[in-house]
Amino acid sequence: MPSLRSRALSVALIAAGRRRRFASAEAVRSHVAASARRPASHLPPRSLGRVAEVSRTFVGAWPVYDASPRGSEPAAQVLFVHGGGYINELVRPHWSMIRMLVTQARARVVVPAYILAPRGTADRTVPVAADLLSGLIESGRDGDGGTVLLGDSAGAGLALAAAQRLRDRSGVQPSRIVLISPWIDVSMSHPDQAAIEAADPMLARPGLREAGRLYAGTLAADDPRVSPLHGSFAGLAPLTVFTGTRDVLSTDSRELLRRARADGVEVEFHEEAGLPHAYPLLPVPEGRAARERIVELIRTAADR
């Protein structure tokens, strides 16, 4: 059973109308149009600079932030790929997670503010993410420790697609891939999703389908660059997956578990009853436990 705090948060999310953002295709198109007129900021909070050395470079048109522990060498590296349905920028919970990875895991965290849909489509975005991952792994070989690939929601989908592309290109993989509530099939066509959606306090299928369509661009929804669930899992790094049963995207996680294990990939799977989408980013006891596990995984990567 979920904690009292988790249940209260789900009620608060419903009351705040969080699902309205993805309630319809029109709602998503309206949001995208408003964001084009007045883009949201992806800048890190100033408070991060108190605990981390923060810098910014550009990879093509992408701003890429680099946060490292102050006063000490990083023990490991993390490529953190943020979620937001491919149409939203980094938000406070992402930066809170990044701060924790820097301070508790002593990790160097590289954070791309990738171009959002519809300007940023999978055919353009996945290769750049794969190049970033490749460069980070290479720098880790030069002494910066193991490399963990971490993403939430849409960012988890982009992260997985990048890992698949890198495997196909060179066979190289990070030490581990950690996926939080991964969105890895943008078609939203799983037969179990209708029942789960009724209890989901955050997400709804109509808006997700539209966001996925914008991200796909000219590609089909089942192209592995768009929906990496339809790609091969063979040869990927060990996977850790977090999902909750009140998340309409939990079907993606369960399908990933089945297909990855069938392809011989090690999967550590965490499914929390009654928890909503991306619960490891939320201020609830289950979220804290998930974050602590992620820190452990990064420390383990550092020891390899």
Side-chain half-sphere of 140: how many Cα atoms within 13 Å?
28
Any domain includes 224: yes
Any domain includes 237: yes
Any domain includes 154: yes
Any domain includes 43: no
Any domain includes 42: no
| Helical axes 205-216 vs 122-139, angle rounded to 10° | 80
> Which pLDDT score, from 0 to 100, does residue 271 have?
98
Any domain includes 46: no
Specify the pairing of strand 62-69 against strand 52-59. Answer: antiparallel
The first and second tokens of residue 252, run together, are 């993606």
Under a CB-based contact definition with an 8 Å cutoff, are residues 55 and 66 in contact?
yes
> Which pLDDT score, from 0 to 100, does residue 149 have?
98
Any domain includes 258: yes
Under a CB-based contact definition with an 8 Å cutoff, are residues 137 and 174 in contact?
yes
Specify the pTM. Answer: 0.96
Radius of gyration of the chain (CA): 18
The first and second tokens of residue 219, run together, are 């590609």
Find the domain containing 80 and state its range.
4-37+63-303
Q: The domain spanning residue 253 has which CATH number?
A: 3.40.50.1820
> Which pLDDT score, from 0 to 100, does residue 8 have?
81
Q: What are phi and psi of 81, to 5 degrees?
A: -115, 115
Q: Roughly how many angstroms between the first and final C-alpha of the chain, as a whole number?
A: 36
Any domain includes 49: no
Number of independent structural domains in the chain = 1
Task: Going residue by residue through the chain, which has 304 residues, state the pLDDT in tens, using 9 for 90 and above.
Answer: 788 888 887 877 776 677 888 999 999 999 999 999 999 999 999 999 999 999 999 999 999 999 999 988 999 999 999 999 999 999 999 999 999 999 999 999 999 999 999 999 999 999 999 999 999 999 876 555 699 999 999 999 999 999 999 999 999 999 999 999 999 999 999 999 999 999 999 999 999 999 999 999 999 999 999 999 999 999 999 999 999 999 999 999 999 999 999 999 999 999 999 999 999 999 999 999 999 999 999 999 876 6
